[in-house]
Structure 1
Amino acid sequence: MVAPNQQSISIAIIGGGPGGLGTAIALSALPFVSVTLYEQAPEPREVGAGLSIGRNAWNVLNLLGAAERVRGGKLGTSWQRNGRTGEVVHTDASHATPAEEKKDEAKQEEEDPRFASIRARRTRLQAALLDKVPDGTIQFGKKLAEIWDLGEGKGVKLRFQDGMETTADFVVGADGIRSIVRRTIFPDHHLHVTGNTAFRVLIPLSSIAHVKDFPAENGWWHGLNGHIYFAPVDDDSEIQDKDESQLFEITVRSYNEPISPDRTATWAVPIMNEKVLARTAEYEARIQSVLRAVPEGSWREFAMVAGPCLAEITAWDKVALIGDASHPLSGAFGSGAAFAMEDGWILARALEREYSRNGNGSLSMAAKATAIRNALRIFQVIRGPYYERMYDFLASREKHSQGTRKEDDVDFGSIIKARVAGLGFVAGGKMDWIYKNDIEQVWKEYVAGEQVARL
């Protein structure tokens, strides 16, 4: 227990998405901190379409105690198809040897089936995390306007758009790809519109039952200037009413949208079906039938923005960026929620470790500042290189895929095969450093390495 006269470390988390909520859960478990999460929405809000929950996400959700309530559609085999013909170009097992297939089957039997990879409604994850955040932690209707560094040992001042001001010893910027925290501490870092746009919707699976021979499963259909992703986002246990339909996700990616400054504000904007259909005319008849089944007004448009790799994801010895705020990659790996929750869990472990080095006694102002500074250095050492590796991977993939959007004299089927080969999912295990990342093991290895270095 904390001594009654002990000064706690005050922490302000900006943003109530999965990363901010996961960070609030992890940090609130430390008895020597006081955590407040500031969310701009006026009330608890569970928004969004679908997201992937793989082994990396299950690992950190278990650590946060939030895994049990997260359910979704089992992903199973992942398919890559030619969008014009429906031809299967690649599946997860396409290049596995018989020995590798047998090994994978044995491993799957050993793993807990509850934690198989799923595609879930974002609302499921949000609700599971909200349930674990201690009461009174979140203040709603608080959109950050400005932050200031008050100087060495004096914390950070925050001002919100409603005029409220407060201070904190430590600030966590979990405010997404358009982060105000990042913009303040790194004013020379700029986002750019990529030209890629996502159109997203969830529809009842029953509404496309009439489309003959359409594989209503996890998979990508590739066109010349885009792709379409399909996935179920519910499992049977989530459907209580026999008249309630399981939901099915559709995401249309268009690679060549007009680039203009106002596109940076295009996020979750309702659009008419006509706009989506105009960008998907090249796809085969089954896809056309599925897209025409979407109720008018259901689509939401998301203009993709991105920014260069940050050499530092901490600042002022008292601010940390997590999730999309720290690596604005515009959802390039489809695992952003897991990355952000991993960040928050590592921050908690680093702060806990540095606090223990002060003998778990009452923290003076100087001791608090030292603990925070050293914890942020640990966070930078562990998570900084991880995100740099992602940027390096994307750069190599982009180089590989140059020319795969130009038909000219090249056969369309060959273009799609080349693109799929460059996605990074073809070679078995190539992406395990992301999708099977065990953040608890990462922490243990850091601690062990630190202990060896001190010998």
Structure 2
Amino acid sequence: MVGRALLSVAIVGGGPGGLGTAIALSKLPFLQVTLYEKNPEPREADLLGASDGVKGGSKSNTHQRNAYTGNILSITQHPENSDADTRGAIRARRTRLQSALLDKVPEGLIQFNKKLVSLEDLPGAGVRLIFDDQTDAHADLVVGADGIHSVVRRVLLPDHQLRFTGNTAFRTIVPRSRLAHLPDITSTTAWWWGEAGHVYFSDVDDEKEVDDPYFEITVRSYKEPDIPGKTVVWGIPATKEKVASRVSTFDQRVRDAVDAVHEGEWGEFATFAGPRLSKITGWDKIALIGDASHPLSGAFGSGATFAMEDGWILARALEHSKFASHPVEEALEVFNVIRSPYYARMYEHLDEVGAKMQQFKAENNDFDAFLKAKIDSFLYGDKSFIYKNDIGKVWEEYVASLPSSN
């Protein structure tokens, strides 16, 4: 980029994906990066250098249970790998991850209280970002890291529509000591599966790090009504009574755990999903990452990872294309070639599993048999392309495939 002006990059959204992208891109000296976050302050891996700041509860022993009887249907042991992360899989608070990432973001890079309302394509002159405080900004490249209800995606693809899935999660974290009378709940990570919903229990703190570690309870209901004008909820308060009603037929231990949560501690999260995008770039100067690029409403429980992988690949693509005559356009093509098929595979996997479960249910009236088949699919279906994805190796293989590399 000798003799050229710096390329300006605007990242929209300050969640883990946006922060991870800011870290990756800020390391490239030919970019000038600004992150725009709609909230007034920070809210609630590792090629980015932040994983050492994230500790969580171990998920090395995971139980799958019948929600009505409590019967243990499956136990998964996650073998520790001494050559990699000896903690195995962990579950950590989102706030801790974001705090660790924030520590790695250069000072002054983030602008808060900047809620994006629209974008304008400026032919030959990048993109104009318009905010609700009547200010604007310009960038050569815009990264939409603004989640499943992405404004960037809505402007780029106005015909793409989300739908309410009927699935709502009620979430909380509580001190584990409050559940001390329920050792069957607190001793393992566990999924308690029912017909119209399930409950998930997991540590989210390293017990060696805090005196009274926190514990996550998520109650997921599959058949919530779609109420026009009221369904778009994310993190609104939910009453104890409402949550308890979703587990009223479950095992007493589950009901007791839910009852231990105080009034005002539940948050309600309605989930939405949308069709796969044929491309995750647009205007030759916009990239969509994370939930903005694949609106699957947390289907694999690894949304932050996907988004940070996106940001890292985008950084590599920009570095690779920095001497091209149209570096942003070429970098976005590389980014799309690598990441778009990855998300297409996720959609295909979900379609295959969904069809398999529908057929099984049509042919079998026994709930336990259906539940076992669902758990087998959930646990043992081939998802190594997700949970064992080595993003560094993915990039190396892409570079090796290029004609100049052969």
State the TM-score, normalized to the length of structure 1.
0.86
| Pick aligned residue for 2:18 from 12, 17, 20 | 20
CA distance in 1, matches of 2:335, 2:256: 48
1:313 corresponds to which of 280, 283, 287: 280
> In structure 1, which of residues 325, 330, 334 is the aligned counterpart of residue 301 of structure 2?
334
Hey, what's the Cα distance between the residues in 2 that align with 1:343 and 1:212? 39
| Number of the residue aligned with 2:43 | 45
Letter in 2 for 1:445: E
Matched, 1:92 2:58: no
| Alpha-carbon distance in structure 2 between the residues aligned to 1:413 and 1:403 | 16
Superposition pairs for residues 45-124 of structure 1, below 5 Å? 45-46=43-44, 61-92=45-76, 108-114=81-87, 116-124=88-96
2:366 counterpart residue number: 411
- Does the CA-based 8 Å contact 2:65-2:192 persist in structure 1? yes
Higher normalized contact order (CA 8 Å, seq sep 6+, divided by chain length): 1
SS in 2 for 1:92: strand
CA distance in 2, matches of 1:445, 1:264: 43
Any idea what SS the aligned residue of 1:317 has? coil
**1:125-164 to 2 correspondence within 5 Å?**
125-151=97-123, 153-164=124-135
- In 2, the alpha carbon distance for the partners of 1:308 and 1:298 equals 33
Give CA deviations for 1:419-454 in whole Å, capped at 9, x if unaligned.
21232x225xx21110111101000000000146x7
Q: 1:210, CA displacement in angstroms?
A: 1.2
SS at 2:279's partner residue? coil
Could you list the per-position Cα deviations for residues 247-271 of structure 1 after superposition, in whole angstroms to 9, with x for gaps in the alignment?
0001111000001332442110101
**Pick from 136, 142, 145: which aligns with 1:171?**
142
The aligned counterpart of 2:386 is: 434
Distance 1:315 1:262, change over 3 A: same
Matched, 1:400 2:400: no
Are residue 378 (structure 1) and residue 334 (structure 2) matched?
Answer: yes
Superposed CA RMSD in Å reads: 1.9
Cα distance in structure 1, aligned partners of 2:32 and 2:214: 39
Shift in CA distance, 409/336, structure 1 to aligned 2, threshold 3 Å: closer
SS of corresponding position for 1:198: strand
1:216–1:230: 8 Å Cα contact kept in structure 2? Answer: no
Counterpart CA distance in 1 for 2:171 and 2:183 is 23
Partner Cα distance (1:120, 1:13) in 2: 25
Asked whether 1:280 is paired with 2:266, we answer no
Unaligned runs of 5+ in 2: none
> In the aligned structure 2, how far is the partner of 1:246 from the partner of 1:112?
21
Q: CA deviation at 1:92?
A: 2.4
CA distance in 2, matches of 1:17, 1:405: 38
Question: Does 1:11 find its partner at 2:9?
Answer: yes
In structure 2, how many angstroms separate the alpha carbons of the residues matched to 1:405 and 1:69? 44
Between the two proteins, the alignment pairs up a number of residues equal to 406
SS in 2 for 1:37: strand
Distance 1:382 1:176 in 2: 20
Alignment-derived partner of residue 396 in structure 2: 444
8 Å CA contact retained: 1:223, 1:282 = no
Cα deviation digits, residues 372-400 of structure 1 (max 9, x gap): 00000000000000000000000011111
Separation in 2, partners of 1:220, 1:395: 22
Kept in 2: contact 1:70–1:124 (CA 8 A): yes
Question: 2:176, 2:186 within 8 Å by CA — same for their partners in 1?
Answer: no
Structure 2: how far apart are the matches of 1:143 and 1:301?
Answer: 23
| Counterpart code for 1:139 | Q
User: Which residue among 268, 271, 285 is the counterpart of 1:301?
Assistant: 268
Structure 1 residues 187 and 181: alpha-carbon distance in aligned structure 2, compared to 1, 3 A threshold: same
User: CA 1:385–1:263 in structure 2 vs 1: closer, same or farther (change >3 Å)?
Assistant: farther
Q: Secondary structure at the match of 1:290?
A: helix
Secondary structure (helix, strand or coil) at the match of 2:294 reads coil
The 2-side partners of 1:257 and 1:441 are apart by 41
In 2 relative to 1, CA 275–404 (structure 1 residues): closer, same or farther, beyond 3 Å?
farther
Give the Cα separation in 2 of the matches to 1:388 and 1:82: 32
Give the AA of the match of 2:65: R
Q: 1:34-79 CA deviation, whole Å, 9 max, x = no partner?
A: 0000000011222xxxxxxxxxxxxxx3211111101000110222
* Residues 199-229 of structure 1, C-alpha deviations (whole Å, 9 max, x = no match): 0000110001112543532110001101111
Out of 16-25 and 82-91, give the one that drifted further: 82-91
SS in 2 for 1:141: coil
> What residue in structure 2 maps to residue 421 of structure 1?
376
Higher mean Cα deviation, 84-93 or 31-40? Answer: 84-93
Does the Cα contact within 8 Å between 2:8 and 2:31 map onto a contact in 1?
Answer: yes
Taking a change above 3 Å as real, the CA distance of residues 212 and 38 of structure 1, as seen in their structure-2 partners, is closer
Q: C-alpha distance in 1, partners of 2:182/2:190?
A: 16
**Contact 1:183-1:189 within 8 A present in 2 as well:** yes
2:385 and 2:241 map into 1 onto residues whose CA distance is 40
4+ residue runs of structure 1 moved beyond 6 angstroms? Answer: 403-406
